[in-house]
Structure 1
Amino acid sequence: MKLAGVVEYDGSDFSGWAAQPSRRTVEDTLSQALSTVLRQPVKLAVAGRTDAGVHATGQVVSFSADIPLDPGEIAYKATAVMPGDLALRRCVEAPADFDARRWASSRSYEYRVLNAAVRSPLAWGRSVYISRRLDETTLTEAAGKILGEHNFRAFTPSRTYHSYFVRRVSESRWDREGEELVYRITANSFLYGMVRALIGTMLEVADGKRSPEDFGRLLDSPEARRSSAGPSAPAHGLTLTGVGYEDVPGL
């Protein structure tokens, strides 16, 4: 039986998604829990590998099970043996050839900036605190330039495993929610480090360090390197919120 699961985690104490020797990772912790419940080794495919410190509310995995357990029971039992910062929130039966990564048609992230005079202890681990007033007009302008298909070569490390740098972005916007500025982006796929590099560069625009026009020029410059863009925004403000699929009910 092939299964698909929606995974939620607080990335603060994880060294990212991917299994690493002597490191606490989401992949290791989740696969160990599922192996305990299913009484068999479990190999996971994942929609998107998140970096250390990045959170998820809508990560998606796929795996196989050889015992006839109800998917909902698998989610409940696996979560019961996992630590409090990780949960398999939902589990559904999927087509036999389903692969969480290869079948994904889109991925969505959000990034939270607490833009207030005084920091908030409750928002500390999920948003980046910036006390200075940010120019929301230029943030909105910069976000609009990201929509559509662009070459994002400037927003991923110069030494990279990627060979194709064009991505199609269907959502890119900043919203004010009380004292927080929330950036939301959806694309067919992302380059390594792309979202945090985009946000760090947009924050430079909001600080007046570069113009929206300069930012826009970076979006279609195959010759540009990572040093042309701004710094990466801190990981703890970023959350993977969802993955899009066309033919898997329940995800």
Structure 2
Amino acid sequence: MGRRGRAVHGRCPLRADRRPAQRLALAARLLLEYDGTEFAGWARQPGTRTVQQVLEDALEQVRPEPVALTVAGRTDSGVHARGQVASHSGAPASAGALNGTLPPDLRVLASEEVPERFDARRDAVSRTYRYRVLDSRVARVFERNRALHWRYGIDRVVLDECAAMLPGKHDFTAFTPTQTYHERFERRVFGAEWVDETDDVIAFWIEADSYMKRMVRTLAGTMLAMAAGRTDAQTFGQLLEGRPRVEAGDTAGAHGLYLERVRY
């Protein structure tokens, strides 16, 4: 055979690779909202109704294997969420299937595939919380379990001045229980402000990289006490320098707090 007819042995560069493509391992990201009134917080605890327990039980009903959830913010008993994020390994179940098994105070707003290494807690850049306050002499029926009822008057200028001191990196030792598991007390706040929601409801919004136990609620309680003239507002800046817990104000009730969103 002449030169042109010589057979060329080996793999043809134009032939498609017939080997099956290897599917990447997946994880699932869930966007959640819940009314925290009847939940003893996020974390599973023996003999109590928690968000994690109810959601993991629902996942086991619609998936062939059990899952362990990781969460962006471990909310306390009574705290609500409008933008909580949880993750687990394996393919996601549909939001519709999960909501068909969940109670009415917990909903999955979205369920989506993410890369296997995604971790709802570790990968979060920031979390945003809102604390709602009903500034009225008379309680409102439909704000019960939704906002702190404050009857002691509020100097709005004081609230705004305190909130303006929060952006930046501070030592929040004064705003978490003395007996705590935390080893690092510095947190970076990206933004903080008080806003009007209605004629008699105001809300404290804060975005930070992470939080310590009861930190947002104690910040709110301390600022409200200062705005009511109970303590000297000039000392708020000093509290951000690692002062003892006893020098800050009371921890505001859990029912006024909402986890609004998580940024990645």
CA shift, 1:46, in A, is 0.4
The counterpart of 2:73, out of the listed 40, 45, 48, is: 48
Pairs within 5 Å for 1:162-181: 162-178=182-198, 179-181=200-202
Pairs within 5 Å for 1:45-84: 45-65=70-90, 71=92, 74-84=94-104
Distance in 1 (alpha carbons) for counterparts of 2:131 and 2:234: 22
CA contact (8 A) 1:157 1:225 kept: no
Aligned to 1:114: 134
Count of aligned positions: 238
Please state if 1:240 is matched with 2:259: yes
Q: Secondary structure at the match of 1:94?
A: strand
CA shift, 1:211, in A, is 2.4
Aligned to 1:29: 54
CA contact (8 A) 1:38 1:65 kept: no
Q: Structure 1: 5+ residue runs without aligned partners?
A: 246-251
CA shift, 1:113, in A, is 0.4
CA shift, 1:39, in A, is 2.3
CA shift, 1:17, in A, is 0.4
Aligned to 1:183: 204
Distance in 1 (alpha carbons) for counterparts of 2:104 and 2:64: 22
Aligned to 1:20: 45
Please list the CA deviations of residues 151-209 of structure 1 after superposition, one character each: whole Å capped at 9, or x if unmatched: 00111111111111110101110011221011000000001111111111101111112
Aligned to 1:93: 113
CA contact (8 A) 1:107 1:188 kept: yes
Please list the CA deviations of residues 26-49 of structure 1 after superposition, one character each: whole Å capped at 9, or x if unmatched: 000001101111121011000010
TM-score by length of structure 2 reads 0.87
Distance in 2 (alpha carbons) for counterparts of 1:54 and 1:10: 8
Distance in 2 (alpha carbons) for counterparts of 1:177 and 1:87: 24
Q: Structure 2: 5+ residue runs without aligned partners?
A: 1-25
Please state if 1:209 is matched with 2:217: no
CA shift, 1:147, in A, is 1.3
Distance in 1 (alpha carbons) for counterparts of 2:72 and 2:247: 29
CA contact (8 A) 1:15 1:53 kept: yes
Please state if 1:228 is matched with 2:231: no
TM-score by length of structure 1 reads 0.92
After superposing the two structures, state which structure 1 stretch, 146-155 or 117-126, moved more: 117-126
Amino acid at match of 1:200: G
Structure label with greater radius of gyration: 2
Amino acid at match of 2:255: H
Distance in 2 (alpha carbons) for counterparts of 1:36 and 1:53: 26
Aligned to 2:6: none
Aligned to 1:199: 220
CA shift, 1:212, in A, is 2.4
